[in-house]
Structure 1
Amino acid sequence: MLRAGGLEAALSPAVGGSLLHLALDGVDLMRRAPDGADDPLAMASFPLAPYANRIANGRFVVDGEDYQLPLNFGDHPHSIHGFGWQTNWTAKATTASSVLLAHEHGGNAGWPWLYRAEQQVTLTASALSMSLSVENVGDRPMPVGLGFHPYFAADTGTTLRFDARGLWLSTPDMLPDREAPADRLGDWSRPARVQGDYLVDNAYTGWAGPAIVERGDGLRLMLSATGADWLHVYRPPGEAYFCLEPVSHMPDAINRGGMAMIAPGETARLSMTVAVEKIDTPLP
C-alpha cells in the first residue's frame, strides 16, 4: 500500500505488476480490483511490455527470421499486450509512497530476446507517476514497445478531452485498417461525455497529451506521458469505466515497420502521470 496526502494506491507484483486501486480520500479514481482478484484484466492498471496491444496472429518477422508468439487472450486470434501483464514481478525497493518492481525475460522461442523490465511507481499528494523501462540484456538488437493500460472510473457526468491528429479504424478482429480524422468516433477535442452506446477500441495518432477527465463528482484527472506518441482509447458500451492507454506504437506495429529496435545494453522508457484535483463546479 502506498500513501501520500489523501492519495492511496496498492499494487499486486504477483499479478502482472498491476495496480489494484488508486483513490483520493477514499474515492476511487480508477476501477478498483475485486478483493482476491488474480486476473490482470480485473485490475486498475497493468504494464505493457515488451510490446503494446496486438500482434496479428502472434506472427512476425525480424531480420529475416519468423517468430510465433502464444495466443494469450482466450479465443482472440492475436497475441496481445506483451508478457509483463501475465507474469510475476518482484518488489525491489519500497517506501511509504513508492515502489520499484522488476521482472526478467530469459528468452524463448516466441521472443528470444533477453530483457529486464522495471516499473517505478510513486505517489505524491496530487499525482500518481509510473515509469516503465525495458533494458536489452542480450547480445543482439531487440524490438520493443511499451505502454500502460489504466481503467478510469466513469460516472454519467464524466467527460474526456484530448487532442490528436487522427485515429485508426479497425477490422472486425481489431487490427488497424485505415487512418481517419480524429473526430470520426467522437470529438474529443472538446469535453465530451465518455459513456456511450457503441464500442471505441482505437489507436489515436499524433497525441502529445494531456488527456483531461472531468467527473460528475467534481474531480479532474489529467493524464500525461513521455515516450508515448499514441493514445489507445477503449470505451466499452454500458460500463462504468474506460481506458486511456499511453503507448509507444500502434497495434501490430512490428509487422508495419513501426516498432523500435534497441541495441544490446540500451533501454527503452515510457512514463505516465495521473494528476488529480478538485474542481469548483461538478458537472450536473
Structure 2
Amino acid sequence: MRAPTGHQYPLRLESEGSVVTAVITEVAAGIRALEVDGAALVETFAETSSPPGAAGIVLVPWPNRVADGRWMLDGEPQQLDLTEPAKGNATHGLLRNTGYRLLEHEAHRVLQAATVFPQHGYPFLLETTVQHELVPDGLQVTHTVRNDSARSAPVAVGAHPYLRIGDVPTADLVLTVDVETRFLTDERQIPVSEEKVAGTDFDLTQGRRLGDIAIDHGFGGVRVTDGRSRQTLDAPDGRRVELWADENFRYLQVFTPPAFASVDGPRLAVALEPMTAPADALNSGEGIRWLQPDETWTLRWGIRRCQAPSSDFGAHLPSIKLGS
C-alpha cells in the first residue's frame, strides 16, 4: 500500500561527530521526521497516516486562513475553494495535498518542485521548489517561488512544523518567542486587530512552560538579528531546539494542540509556524509579496539543535490559558 503522503525520502548526514536523519514526503514536501543523534526535533507521524494537524507541510501561496475564501483582485471578487468549511475559510494555501516532483536526491538533501496552476480564486501560475538539506545541527529548508504569469501575483509562504526535544514531555519544555505583537481574532481565527505583547499575558519573550499555557495565535513583529529570527524550546536538562528563519519571515503562528496524533498516541504538541504574512493577508495585504512576471523569490528557514545557556531556563509566569 502506498503511503498517504506519497514517496518517502530518507536523508542522513554524519558530520562533526553527529548523525542527523530525516524523512521528507512527496505530498506537500512535508517533514515527517527529523532527529539529531537519535533525539527527535519534530513530532513524527506514521507512514500510514496523513499529516495530523498539517504537520510539517509547506504553505503556498498563502499560509493560515482567508476569510470566506474571498478576496479582491483589481476590483474583481475572487472565490477560493473553502478547505476549512466548518469555519468558512480557505486555509493553508493550494499545495497541501499536492504531490511534488522530484528534481534531485542525495544522501543528505532532496529538492522537489510543484506548480500552482490557475484555479478558483487564484488566477496565477507559479513554479515552486523546496529543498530540505541536512546540516550538522539539524535541517535547512530553502524555498523558491517564480511567477510564470503574465501579470504580478500575490504570494506568501509558510511552513507547519511541530517541534519537540527527544522524549521530553512537551509540557515540560519552555517556549521563548521573540515577537512584538499578536493578532486578536474572531471566532473563525481571522485577525480583527493587533496589539503589543509587552506587559500582557501573551508576552512569551522571557519563556513560558508549555504545560502552563494553551495557545493558537498569530504574532507579528518577529525580531531579526544578524539576518535571522530565532524561536526556541528549552528542556530542563539544558537541551535547546531552535526554529530560525531569514528576514522574509516576519510572522509566526504558535499552536499547542493538547492531543496531537503522534506515533506514540495523543500528546500535547507545539507548532511553530514561520510565515511571511499573517492570516487573511490576501484581504489585508499585510506581508504579501507581489511577484512580477518571471521574478523568483528565494527564502530560508530551519530547525537546529543547540545548547541553552544555563541562565536561560526557567523564566516562568503563573499558569494561564491564552485564549482567542
Structure-1 separation of matches of 2:273 and 2:175: 13
Name the residue aligned to 1:159: 174
C-alpha displacement at 1:266, in angstroms? Answer: 0.7
Q: Deviations over 1:138-173 (max 9, x none)?
A: 111111000111111252321111321111111111
Partner of 1:261: 290
Alignment of 1:232-247 (within 5 A): 232-237=253-258, 239-247=267-275
Match of 2:262 in 1: none
**Partner SS for 1:276:** strand
Q: Contact 1:199–1:237 (CA<8 Å) still a contact in 2?
A: no
- Of 186, 209, 221 in structure 2, the residue corresponding to residue 171 of structure 1 is 186
Give how far 1:124 is off: 1.3
* More displaced 10-residue stretch of structure 1: 170-179 or 215-224: 215-224
Aligned partner of residue 282 in structure 2, secondary structure: helix
Question: Is the partner of 1:195 in helix, strand or coil?
Answer: helix
Structure 1 pair 43–49 and aligned structure 2 pair: CA distance change class (3 A): closer
Any residues of structure 2 matched to 1:125-274 within 5 Å, and which? 125-153=136-164, 155-183=170-198, 184-208=200-224, 209-216=229-236, 218-226=238-246, 227-237=248-258, 239-258=267-286, 259-274=288-303
Q: What's the TM-score once normalised by structure 2's chain length? A: 0.81
Q: CA deviation at 1:242?
A: 0.7
How far apart are 1:16 and its partner, in Å?
1.4
Q: Does the 8 Å CA contact 1:168/1:180 hold for their aligned counterparts?
A: yes
Corresponding letter in the other structure for 1:120: Q
Q: Does 1:7 align with 2:28?
A: no
SS at structure 2 position matched to 1:254: helix
**Matching residue of 2:318:** none
- Counterpart in 1 of 2:135? 124
TM-score normalized with structure 1 length: 0.91
Query: Which piece of structure 1 moves more, 273-282 or 179-188?
Result: 273-282
Matched position secondary structure for 1:4 = strand
Q: Give, in angstroms, the shift of residue 198 of structure 1.
A: 3.1
Looking at structure 1, the residues matched to 89 and 73 of structure 2 have their Cα atoms a distance apart, in angstroms, of 18
Contact 1:98 1:123 (C-alpha < 8 Å) held by counterparts: yes
Q: What is the CA-CA distance between 1:41 and the residue it aligns to?
A: 3.4
Instruction: Please tell me whether the aligned partners of residues 35 and 138 of structure 2 are also in contact (alpha carbons under 8 angstroms).
Output: no
Shift, 1:19, TM fit? 0.9
Name the amino acid aligned to 2:214: Y
Equivalent in 93, 96, 108 of residue 119 of structure 2: 108
Give the Cα–Cα distance (whole angstroms) in 1 for the partners of residues 233 and 43 of structure 2.
Answer: 14
SS of 1:190's partner is coil
Q: Distance in 2 between matches of 1:42 and 1:8?
A: 22
- Shift in Å at residue 253 of structure 1? 1.2
- Please give the alpha-carbon distance, in whole angstroms, between the structure 2 residues aligned to 1:237 and 1:8: 27
Task: Note closer, same or farther for the CA distance 1:162–1:263 as it changes in structure 2 (3 Å cut).
Answer: same
Moved over 6 A (4+): 280-284
Given the superposition, is the C-alpha separation of residues 250 and 42 from structure 1 closer, same or farther in structure 2, using an over 3 Å criterion?
closer
Deviating more after overlay: 207-216 vs 76-85: 207-216
Tell me, in whole angstroms, the C-alpha distance in 1 between the residues paired with 2:131 and 2:24: 12
> Using the alignment, how far apart are the partners of 1:122 and 1:18 within structure 2?
13
CA contact (8 A) 2:216 2:253 kept: no
> Secondary structure at 1:156's aligned position in 2?
helix
Q: What residue is the counterpart of 1:59 in the other structure?
A: 70
Offset at residue 133 of structure 1 (A): 1.7
| 3-state secondary structure, aligned to 2:219 | strand
Which structure 2 residue ranges, 5 or more long, are not aligned?
1-9, 260-266, 315-324
Distance verdict in 2 for CA 1:42–1:91, change over 3 Å? farther
What is the CA-CA distance between 1:99 and the residue it aligns to?
Answer: 0.6
Identity over aligned residues, as a percent? 26
Aligned length: 282
Choose 229-238 or 139-148, whichever is displaced more: 229-238
